């Protein structure tokens, strides 16, 4: 045999669909090993064959969109009504005539011209702009500040806030978790925000790589591989053995279960993503990643939280004004989100999905010598979706009352998290955030 | 504590129980399976030839070989000449003055040029960090002193420092060599050395710690993560310890003690009093009973079997009396040897407990163990080091970039749905040269399983002829166990693909075994 030929993708999917079907059937049989039964049940649940779990919010989905590198908030939501803005940024300010004005109720404010897609959504009542979001004693290290946002802890330590949410709401017995993928990150690794103590996030960058490569090498490997994977753990020795394990299952059992989880979620996700989206997406990386999320939602995955990132916002030099590098990133951001909601609307799923965007910090008010901006503090967050609270939320931070040349934050980001948890995910935010924060309403009234 | 012990065996002393728990293996019980296990744990696994050799040597000779790397010719860890100590050298007085002048003049162009120069050096330094990663990975793959490299990795995870935070590759290299020099030496000496290590001083901000305004980061972690564990010191010990460490800083690549920044006042730390400096602080830590227990538990987790998360040999009822007694014995040996590592490791690797069924296959391979182990056990080509490092990053263990000061949690933390695929695909890459999602021409360096098969056939000559026998031997060698259904599947795969002499078919069988969940265990 040769290990170097390539079976077609389509064939692999058909085979998978078939074998998964028969795996589900096995659950009815008394002879199936217990762990196979468990996985068959989990599979059924994951495919939408079972009703909702009591206590878990119906079928609401949260998408977190991270803008990495520190998005320049002042050139995103532009305070064109303030002379201070133009004085601080002689070479990179967005000219007043090019700003996409919010209009009534938000005088002197508008969006960067390359955010036309976001403006169109705003006009349709699908966008909320939360101004001046930050935290006390801002940290200007990308690394630290990102960890602060991810852990929801100004010490930047501990588990991720979304991980804790998923642990609280979705952690059941291992059999219930199998293949459910309660949280999915598009990326090489799952972000700290999604790392909890119990339920593991699923992370992948390219759904086609989220599987065993052996299948590419030769057809003949697939069938024995499956037989090797789908078998009861070998060594079932007593768990309370001489080594005093505190885990309910042995290490070998844990691995067999995770391998099975991986195979089930891999199949579910790859089947979902293989569908053609209902609308055209821009040809950008972010848009393609958001189209994968839309496809997973459409396929009925039980995933509650999706995470996606767009990098490149660390614009220390030549960031441009109305045009240029920063504007290009904003265009990619807006184009992807708009196509995503068009797709969700065509699916009939748009009201189920709230999207929240953030960046680890904004940038300094004054431009630097390289026509860029250095690490700053408070910045706007965006809410998207028909159920999001629409309009401009809060006051724009003052350009006159600065702290060491930086904006002072007006809304703590954990109030936004609390709002998302309480109003959208319908959970007790104190359980997840460790203490009580003012709950910022992030959804429409009623 | 006495109550816990007396529940079990009222008439024996804790010391006697501890000695019994760590009692040596009967030398006659040391065969190929034990040799395989020892090779995996003491280093990164060995080929079938090495397993046979170690089994022939017997337990004591094998252990002495690994504990005395001086005898192996890989002692010199001088880095390749292209790795330079000056990439991130601090600016000289003229450069400093040029910068000050430009800033004073408001000469933005000159400032931008100087900033660009700094950025260029940082870029170069990142490349150098990569070169250092490749150099270290190569040592792990090639060094006959495998335990030395494994302990270097252990100390890197223990005294975790992240290149990303300090941005000085030479300092990372110095630290790596420090760990290697003390790999099998004394933990006490390493503690005294680590408070002089530029990478550590920068990582935990001690170089910015000033008399009157001490930074507590290093003092805290010395006790919490490096030597005692939570609950064995007070917040006051941290504050006073931070004062003791003021003035411990570095200049370029040299540790310096700055007496002007050092707080000479009287301090009280962990029961010690006086004008204590950093060394006195370290001595106070090492004098704590909890210190040896803390290190013993960490070594147990790394080499023997998992323990509950915040484990304590006196208080935690989560471990069985046998395990508590065993770790207790390790801690005793550490104390008696004044924190020498060789005696305690010798005792562990000789103990019957280490070879017991309950310890075998109970650890999850770290990404380094998985990759380096696959190369060393299966004799695969090394392939491209950068690709291997990328894979390690994806699997959660990027050397020189531990996720936090607490290092890599290890164990089940390594495994999730995504890393599991990456692990399987990394093994497939080593065997076939193929990467997921890339169509490449057939690699020139193809894998040849013949040396493995030939040696395994010396254990059972039928393995050279019969697929069933070869499948048995492969599973036993690669997994340390032989699940019956798996044996049948592997055997029929070999039979259907040209039999035991067909290189591609046997490679396929090996590939299938690397994708089994149990391959992640060691």
Closest CA to B201 of B252, B158, B240, B154: B252
Give the chain B residue whose CA is nearest to the CA of A204: B418
Q: Name the minimum distance, in Å, from the CA of A296 to any CA of chain B.
A: 17
Whether residues B418 and A203 touch (CB distance < 8 A) is answered with: yes
Q: Check CB contact of A246 with chain B, cutoff 8 Å.
A: yes
Q: What is the largest CA-CA distance in chain B?
A: 85
**Pairwise pLDDT comparison (B318 vs B215), residue with the higher score:** B215
Domain ranges, residue B332:
2-67+288-355
For B379-427, how does the pLDDT look when each residue is reduced to its tens digit (9 = 90+)? 999 999 999 999 999 899 999 999 888 899 899 889 888 889 999 999 9
Residues B419 and B459 grouped into a single domain: no
Residue A3, in any domain of the structure: no
Q: Check CB contact of A303 with chain B, cutoff 8 Å.
A: no
Cross-strand pairs, A379: A133
Q: Check CB contact of B420 with chain A, cutoff 8 Å.
A: yes
Candidates B517, B518, B519, B520: best to mutate against A (most CBs of A within 10 A) is B517
ipTM strictly over 0.85? Answer: yes
Residue A244, in any domain of the structure: no
Backbone angles phi, psi at B159, to 5 degrees: -95, 60
Q: Check CB contact of A254 with chain B, cutoff 8 Å.
A: yes
B2-6, B93-97, B149-153, B373-377: least confidently modelled range: B2-6
Residue A297, in any domain of the structure: yes
Option in B306, B322, B515 nearest A242 (CB): B322
Residue A237, in any domain of the structure: no
B377 within 8 A of B47, measured Cβ to Cβ: yes
B187 within 8 A of B295, measured Cβ to Cβ: yes
Residue B194, in any domain of the structure: no
Residue B45, in any domain of the structure: yes
Checking if the pLDDT of B269 tops 60, the result is yes
Q: Check CB contact of A241 with chain B, cutoff 8 Å.
A: yes
Q: In total, how many domains does chain A have? A: 1
Helix (H) or strand (E) holding B248: strand B248-251
Contacts 24+ apart (CB under 8 A), A241-244: A241/B320, A241/B358, A242/B320, A242/B322, A242/B323, A242/B353, A242/B356, A242/B358, A243/B305, A243/B306, A243/B319, A243/B320, A243/B323, A243/B358, A243/B359, A243/B362, A244/B307, A244/B308, A244/B318, A244/B319, A244/B320, A244/B323
Using alpha carbons, list the distances in angstroms from residue B276 to A103, B131, B267, B272. Answer: 66, 40, 6, 8
Closest CA to B116 of A93, A74, A326, A372: A372
Residue B198, in any domain of the structure: no
A140 within 8 A of A378, measured Cβ to Cβ: no
Q: Check CB contact of A255 with chain B, cutoff 8 Å.
A: yes
CA dihedral B398, B404, B405, B407 (to 10 degrees): -50
pLDDT of residue A18: 26
Q: What gap in Å lies between CA A272 and CA A50, rounded to an integer?
A: 18
DSSP string, B198-224: HHHHHHTTGGG-BTTB---HHHHHIII
Q: Name the minimum distance, in Å, from the CA of A264 to any CA of chain B.
A: 10
Closest CA to A382 of A149, A131, A129: A129
A window 263-302, beta carbon within 8 A of B: 265-266
Checking if the pLDDT of B222 tops 90, the result is yes
Q: Name the minimum distance, in Å, from the CA of B443 to any CA of chain A.
A: 10
Residue B148, in any domain of the structure: no
pLDDT of residue A2: 34
Residue B282, in any domain of the structure: no
Closest CA to A366 of A55, A89, A39, A33: A89
The CATH number covering residue A28 comes to 3.40.720
How many C-alpha atoms does A93 have within 13 Å on its Cβ side?
A: 17
Q: Any idea what DSSP says for residue B404?
A: S
pLDDT of residue B126: 95
Residues B371 and B346 grouped into a single domain: no
Q: What gap in Å lies between CA B321 and CA A249, rounded to an integer?
A: 20
Residue A238, in any domain of the structure: no
Residue A117, in any domain of the structure: yes
Option in B109, B362, B442 nearest A243 (CB): B362
Give the chain B residue whose CA is nearest to the CA of A369: B108
Domain ranges, residue A272:
9-232+251-433
Residues B343 and B371 grouped into a single domain: no
Q: How confident is the model at residue B317 (pLDDT cuts 50, 70, 90)?
A: low
**What would the two tokens of residue A75 be?**
């050139």
**Pairwise pLDDT comparison (A330 vs B110), residue with the higher score:** A330
Among B327, B355, B383, where does a domain finish? B355
Candidates A4, A160, A212, A213: best to mutate against B (most CBs of B within 10 A) is A213
Q: In total, how many domains does chain B have? A: 3
Helix (H) or strand (E) holding B461: none
Burial (CB count <10 Å: 0-12, 13-18, 19+), residue B17 = buried
Backbone angles phi, psi at A130, to 5 degrees: -95, 120
Residue A173, in any domain of the structure: yes
CA dihedral A264, A267, A270, A276 (to 10 degrees): -120
Contacts 24+ apart (CB under 8 A), B29-33: B29/B352, B29/B355, B30/B55, B30/B58, B30/B59, B30/B355, B31/B55, B32/B459, B33/B476, B33/B480
Q: Which residues of A touch B165 (CB under 8 A)?
A: 143
Q: How confident is the model at residue B95 (pLDDT cuts 50, 70, 90)?
A: confident
A118 within 8 A of A392, measured Cβ to Cβ: no
**What would the two tokens of residue B330 be?**
């390790």
Checking if the pLDDT of B173 tops 60, the result is yes
Residue A333, in any domain of the structure: yes
Checking if the pLDDT of B343 tops 80, the result is yes
B267-269 and B272-274 strand pairing: antiparallel
Q: Which residues of A touch B412 (CB under 8 A)?
A: 247, 251, 254
B466 within 8 A of B486, measured Cβ to Cβ: no
Neighbours of B254 (CB within 10 A): 10
Q: How confident is the model at residue B441 (pLDDT cuts 50, 70, 90)?
A: low
Option in A2, A242, A251 nearest B521 (CB): A251
Residue B499, in any domain of the structure: yes
Q: Check CB contact of B112 with chain A, cutoff 8 Å.
A: yes
Whether residues B508 and A3 touch (CB distance < 8 A) is answered with: yes
A297 within 8 A of A326, measured Cβ to Cβ: no
Q: What gap in Å lies between CA B345 and CA A219, rounded to an integer?
A: 47
Option in B112, B496, B521 nearest A370 (CB): B112
Whether residues A369 and B421 touch (CB distance < 8 A) is answered with: no
Q: Check CB contact of A402 with chain B, cutoff 8 Å.
A: no
Q: Check CB contact of B462 with chain A, cutoff 8 Å.
A: no
Q: Check CB contact of A204 with chain B, cutoff 8 Å.
A: yes
Candidates B418, B419, B508: best to mutate against A (most CBs of A within 10 A) is B418
B window 28-57, beta carbon within 8 A of A: none
Whether residues A262 and B362 touch (CB distance < 8 A) is answered with: no
B249 within 8 A of B207, measured Cβ to Cβ: yes
Give Cα A196 distance to the centre of its chain: 15
Q: Check CB contact of B490 with chain A, cutoff 8 Å.
A: yes
Query: Residues of chain B with pLDDT > 90: what percent?
Result: 77
Q: What gap in Å lies between CA B13 and CA B33, rounded to an integer?
A: 34
Q: What gap in Å lies between CA A101 and CA B26, rounded to an integer?
A: 83
A179-183, A331-335, B86-90, B444-448: least confidently modelled range: A179-183
A366 within 8 A of A325, measured Cβ to Cβ: no
For B479-502, how does the pLDDT look when each residue is reduced to its tens digit (9 = 90+)? 998 888 899 999 999 999 999 999
B416 within 8 A of A201, measured Cβ to Cβ: yes
Q: Name the minimum distance, in Å, from the CA of B71 to any CA of chain A.
A: 35
Give the chain A residue whose CA is nearest to the CA of B111: A369
Q: Any idea what DSSP says for residue B356?
A: S
Give the chain B residue whose CA is nearest to the CA of A262: B417
Q: What gap in Å lies between CA B149 and CA B176, rounded to an integer?
A: 10
Query: Which parts of B2-47 fold into alpha helices (H)?
Result: 2-8, 14-21, 32-42
Whether residues B518 and A216 touch (CB distance < 8 A) is answered with: no
Residue B101, in any domain of the structure: no
Residue B125, in any domain of the structure: no
> Which pLDDT tens digits describe chain A residue by residue (446 residues)?
333 333 332 222 222 322 222 222 222 222 333 334 344 444 444 444 333 333 334 689 999 999 999 999 999 999 999 999 999 999 999 999 999 999 988 999 999 999 999 999 999 999 999 999 999 999 988 888 999 999 999 988 889 999 999 988 876 555 455 556 789 999 877 899 998 887 778 888 888 778 898 888 888 999 999 888 876 554 444 333 344 434 457 888 889 888 887 888 888 899 999 999 999 999 999 999 999 999 999 998 989 999 999 999 999 889 999 999 999 999 999 999 999 999 999 999 999 999 999 999 999 999 988 889 999 999 999 999 999 999 999 999 999 999 988 999 999 999 999 999 999 999 999 999 999 999 999 999 75
Using alpha carbons, list the distances in angstroms from residue A130 to A63, A73, A148, A356, B492. Answer: 16, 11, 19, 10, 63
Whether residues B112 and A237 touch (CB distance < 8 A) is answered with: no
Mind spelling out the 3-state secondary structure of chain A? CCCCCCCCHHHHHHHHHHHHHHHHHHCCCCCCCHHHHHHHHHHHHHCCCCCCCCCCCCCCEEEEEEECCCCCHHHCEECCCCHHHHHHCCCCCCCHHHCEECCCCCCCCEECHHHHHHHHHHHCCCEEEEEEEECCCCCCCHHHHHHHHHHCCCCCCCCCHHHHHHHHHHCCCHHHHCCCCCEEEECCCCCHHHCCCCCCCEEECCHHHCCCCHHHHCHHHHHHHHHHHCCCCCCCCCCCCCCCCCCCCCHHHHHHHHHHHHHHHHHHHHHHHHCCCCCCCCCCHHHHHHHHHHHHHHCCCCCCEEEEEECCCCCCCCCCCCCCHHHHHHHHHHHHHHHHHHHHHHHCCHHHEEEEEEECCCECCCCCCCCCCCECCCEEEEEECCCECCEEECCCCCCCCCECCECCCCEEHHHHHHHHHHHHCCCCHHHHHCCCCCCCCCECCC
């Amino acid at each position: 045999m040769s290990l170097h030929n390539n079976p077609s993708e389509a064939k692999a999917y058909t085979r998978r669909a078939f074998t998964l079907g028969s795996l589900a059937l096995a659950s009815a049989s008394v002879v199936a090993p217990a762990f196979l039964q468990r996985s068959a049940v989990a599979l059924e649940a994951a495919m939408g064959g079972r009703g909702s779990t009591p206590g878990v919010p119906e079928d609401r989905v949260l998408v977190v969109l991270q803008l990495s590198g520190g998005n320049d908030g002042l050139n995103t939501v532009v305070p064109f009504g303030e002379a201070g803005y133009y004085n601080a940024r002689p070479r990179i300010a967005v000219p007043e005539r090019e700003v996409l004005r919010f209009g009534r109720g938000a005088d002197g404010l508008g969006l960067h011209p390359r955010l036309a897609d976001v403006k169109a959504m705003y006009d349709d009542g699908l966008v909320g702009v939360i101004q001046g979001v930050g935290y006390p004693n801002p940290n200007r290290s990308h690394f630290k500040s990102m960890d602060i946002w991810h852990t929801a802890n100004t010490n930047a330590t501990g588990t991720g806030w979304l991980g804790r949410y998923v642990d609280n709401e979705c952690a059941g017995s291992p059999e219930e978790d199998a293949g459910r993928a309660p949280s999915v990150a598009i990326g090489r690794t799952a972000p700290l925000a999604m790392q909890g103590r119990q339920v593991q996030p699923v992370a992948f960058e390219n759904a086609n790589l989220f599987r065993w490569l052996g299948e590419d090498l030769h057809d003949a490997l697939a069938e024995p591989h499956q037989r090797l994977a789908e078998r009861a753990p070998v060594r079932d020795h007593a768990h309370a053995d001489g080594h005093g394990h505190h885990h309910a299952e042995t290490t070998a059992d844990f691995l067999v279960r995770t391998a099975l989880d991986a195979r089930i979620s891999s199949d579910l996700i790859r089947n979902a993503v293989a569908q053609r989206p209902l609308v055209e997406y821009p040809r950008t990386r972010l848009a393609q990643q958001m189209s994968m999320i839309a496809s997973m939602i459409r396929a009925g995955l039980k995933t509650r939280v999706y995470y996606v990132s767009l990098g490149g916002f660390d614009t220390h030099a030549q960031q441009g004004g109305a045009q240029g590098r920063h504007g290009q990133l904003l265009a990619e951001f807006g184009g992807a989100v708009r196509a995503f909601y068009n797709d969700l609307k065509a699916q009939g799923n748009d009201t189920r999905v709230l999207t929240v965007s953030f960046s680890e910090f904004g940038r300094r008010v004054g431009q630097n010598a390289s026509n860029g901006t250095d690490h700053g503090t408070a910045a706007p967050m965006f809410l998207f979706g028909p159920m999001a609270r629409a309009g401009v939320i809060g006051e724009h931070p003052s350009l006159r009352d600065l702290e060491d040349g930086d904006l002072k934050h007006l809304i703590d980001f954990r109030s936004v998290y609390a709002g998302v948890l309480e109003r959208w995910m319908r959970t007790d935010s104190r359980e997840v955030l460790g203490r009580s924060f003012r709950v910022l309403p992030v959804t429409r009234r009623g | 504590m006495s109550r816990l012990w007396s529940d079990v065996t009222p008439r024996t002393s804790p010391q006697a129980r501890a000695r019994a728990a760590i009692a040596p293996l009967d030398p006659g019980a040391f065969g190929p399976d034990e040799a395989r296990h020892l090779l995996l744990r003491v280093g990164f696994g060995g080929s079938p030839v090495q397993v046979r050799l170690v089994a022939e040597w017997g337990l004591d000779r094998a252990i002495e070989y690994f504990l005395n790397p001086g005898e192996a010719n890989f002692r010199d860890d001088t880095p390749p000449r292209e790795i330079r100590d000056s990439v991130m050298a601090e600016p000289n007085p003229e450069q400093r003055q040029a910068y000050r002048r430009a800033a004073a003049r408001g000469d933005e162009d000159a400032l931008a040029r100087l900033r660009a120069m700094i950025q260029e050096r940082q870029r170069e330094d990142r490349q150098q960090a990569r070169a250092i990663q490749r150099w270290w990975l190569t040592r792990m793959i090639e060094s006959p002193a495998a335990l030395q490299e494994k302990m270097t990795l252990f100390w890197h995870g223990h005294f975790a420092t992240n290149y990303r935070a300090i941005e000085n590759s030479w300092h990372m290299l110095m630290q790596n060599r420090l760990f290697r020099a003390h790999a099998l030496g004394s933990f006490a000496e390493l503690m005294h050395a680590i408070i002089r290590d530029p990478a550590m001083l920068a990582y935990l901000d001690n170089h910015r710690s000033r008399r009157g305004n001490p930074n507590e980061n290093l003092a805290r972690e010395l006790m919490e993560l490096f030597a005692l564990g939570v609950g064995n010191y007070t917040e006051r010990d941290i504050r006073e310890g931070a004062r003791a460490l003021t003035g411990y800083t570095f200049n370029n690549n040299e540790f310096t003690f700055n007496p002007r920044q050092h707080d000479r006042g009287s301090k009280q730390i962990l029961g010690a009093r006086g004008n204590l400096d950093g060394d006195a602080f370290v001595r106070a830590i090492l004098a704590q009973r909890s210190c040896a227990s803390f290190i013993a538990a960490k070594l147990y987790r790394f080499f023997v079997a998992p323990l509950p998360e915040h484990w304590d040999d006196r208080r935690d009822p989560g471990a069985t009396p046998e395990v508590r007694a065993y770790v207790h014995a390790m801690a005793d040996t550490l104390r008696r040897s004044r924190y020498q590592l060789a005696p305690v490791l010798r005792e562990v690797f000789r103990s019957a407990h280490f070879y017991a069924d309950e310890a075998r296959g109970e650890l999850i391979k770290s990404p380094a163990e998985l990759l380096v182990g696959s190369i060393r056990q299966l004799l695969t080509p090394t392939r491209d080091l950068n690709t291997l490092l990328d894979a390690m990053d994806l699997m959660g263990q990027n050397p020189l970039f531990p996720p936090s000061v607490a290092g890599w949690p290890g164990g089940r933390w390594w495994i999730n749905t995504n890393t599991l695929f990456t692990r399987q695909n990394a093994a497939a890459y080593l065997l076939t040269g193929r990467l997921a999602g890339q169509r490449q021409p057939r690699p020139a360096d193809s894998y040849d399983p013949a040396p493995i098969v030939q040696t395994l056939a010396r254990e059972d000559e039928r393995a050279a002829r019969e697929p069933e026998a070869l499948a048995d031997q492969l599973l036993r060698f690669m997994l340390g166990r032989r699940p019956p259904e798996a044996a049948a599947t592997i055997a029929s795969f070999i039979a259907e693909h040209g039999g035991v002499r067909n290189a591609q078919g046997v490679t396929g069988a090996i590939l299938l075994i690397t994708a089994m969940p149990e391959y992640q265990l060691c």
